[in-house]
Amino acid sequence: MENSKSTVCVVMPVYNGAKTIMLAIKSLLYQTYPNWNCVIVNDGSKDSTKEILDRITDNRFKIIHLAENKGRGYARQICLENSSGDYLTYLDADDFYHPEKIKQQVDILDKFADVYLTSCGQGSFDNKNTLRTIRGVKYAGLHNFICGDEVKFVPVTSMIRLSYAMNIRYNDKLNASEDVDYFSAYLDNRKFYILDRIMYYYYEYESLSYSKTVEYAFNCLKRIYYSRSKMQLNLFLKQFLITIFKLVVYALLYPFLGKNFFIKRRGKTALKSDVSTFNDCIIRLDNMKTQG
């Protein structure tokens, strides 16, 4: 696996990501796996994102600027259409990678030809660069997916096979939950593998808000509705009713309970070992900054 020649395309849709995007880019530059390229779609940002991206001279990056904001589903589809290589993986503009993230996922896809997706654990941190919670490793190991199943992996941490990924389109009517919708179609009756390490870090504690939480729940409802023809009727009705219930709960209780309550329910408290690994990544990326 040390000499893998597989090329990985990293895709990054961004909207108003000026405050965080350089951390994401540095974590990509710091990867131990060298064979990657990156497609960044600036989805009509109104801050200084365009100016920051236009300063990138590394020819491994392909920058696409959209004249106006089209939404996450649309931007992800543009990323997909401009991708090239063997595998496809994701990096949002307010997140960053562990240095081994790409390499360990390439190792899985190179080794197991019948595995179509591999994911890893995700850590959530705040604006003080403190790792707070982790999730996505509870079901570590090999699984088979059927459309309508619960998505047991964290979608944004995934790496997939690009040649097959090109056969599936993102739903541009979804501005959230578009990745769950996409992977549900991509993985139908195929195997996936969850790594038991936290290698993707998410700026969740600051990016989450009441409006985003409700929007996500509403888009989950839309996603289930669009997938109704692929699901058994009883499963469709069950998921549809559960999602309506969640939407109502989020809308009514979020103002009283706050975002910390809902974030903690999505994961568990980070272990000391996870915090230590996270802190080491932050220090290394900060050193890259001071070195220019």
Residue-wise pLDDT tens digits, 202-218 = 997 666 666 767 776 77
Q: What is the rounded CA–CA span in Å between residue 132 and residue 267?
A: 9
In a domain, 236, yes or no: yes
pLDDT of amino acid 241: 86
Mean pLDDT of 49-61: 96
Same domain, 51 and 101: yes
Q: Between residues 93 and 255, which one has the greater pLDDT?
A: 93
186 and 242 in a common domain? no
pLDDT at 209: 63
Angle between helices 272-290 and 21-29 (to 10 degrees): 90
The token duo for 27 is 């974590």
Closest by CA position to 261, among listed 153, 155, 133 = 133
> Residue 28: inside a domain, yes or no?
yes
Count how many domains the chain has.
2
Rg (CA), the chain: 18
* Longest Cα separation, the chain: 58
- Residue 100 DSSP class: T
Could you tell me if 127 and 187 lie in one domain?
A: yes
Per-residue pLDDT, 291: 45
Task: Supply the CATH number for residue 274's domain.
Answer: 3.90.550.10
Instruction: Mark whether 251 and 170 lie in a shared domain.
Output: no
pLDDT of residue 42: 97
Looking at the structure, tell me whether residues 284 and 232 fall in a common domain. no
At residue 253, the pLDDT reads: 75
* Residue 95, beta-bridge partner list: 202
pLDDT band at 175 (very low <50, low <70, confident <90, very high): low
Q: Are residues 114 and 251 in the same domain?
A: no
Residue range of the domain that includes 226: 210-257
The residues facing 43 across adjacent strands are 66
Q: Are residues 215 and 98 in the same domain?
A: no
Q: Is the residue at 1 inside a domain?
A: no
Q: What would the two tokens of residue 80 be?
A: 């997909």
**pTM of the entire predicted model:** 0.84
pLDDT class of 292 with cuts at 50, 70, 90: very low
- What is the rounded average pLDDT for all residues in the chain? 88
Residue 275 lies in a domain: yes
Q: Residue 292: CB partners within 8 Å, gap ≥ 6?
A: none
CA distances for 78 relative to 21, 55, 163, 176, angstroms = 19, 21, 16, 16
Closest to 188 in 3D by CA, of 196, 180, 178: 180
Task: Kindly state whether residues 125 and 29 are assigned to the same domain.
Answer: yes
* Domain membership flag for residue 285: yes
- The answer to whether 200 touches 156, Cβ cutoff 8 Å, is yes
Q: In Å, what is the CA distance from 116 to each residue of 42, 124, 160, 218?
A: 28, 26, 6, 28
Residues 93 and 151 grouped into a single domain = yes
For residue 107, is pLDDT > 70?
yes
pLDDT at 289: 64
Q: Are residues 217 and 249 in the same domain?
A: yes
Rounded CA separation 78/73 (Å): 9
- The string of pLDDT tens digits covering residues 232-268 is 787 778 777 877 887 787 778 767 776 666 666 677 8
Is 76 within 8 Å of 13 (Cβ atoms)? yes
**From start to end of 16-69, where are the E strands?**
36-43, 61-66
Q: Is residue 2 part of a domain?
A: no
* 12 and 87 both lie in a single domain: yes
Q: Are residues 159 and 176 in the same domain?
A: yes
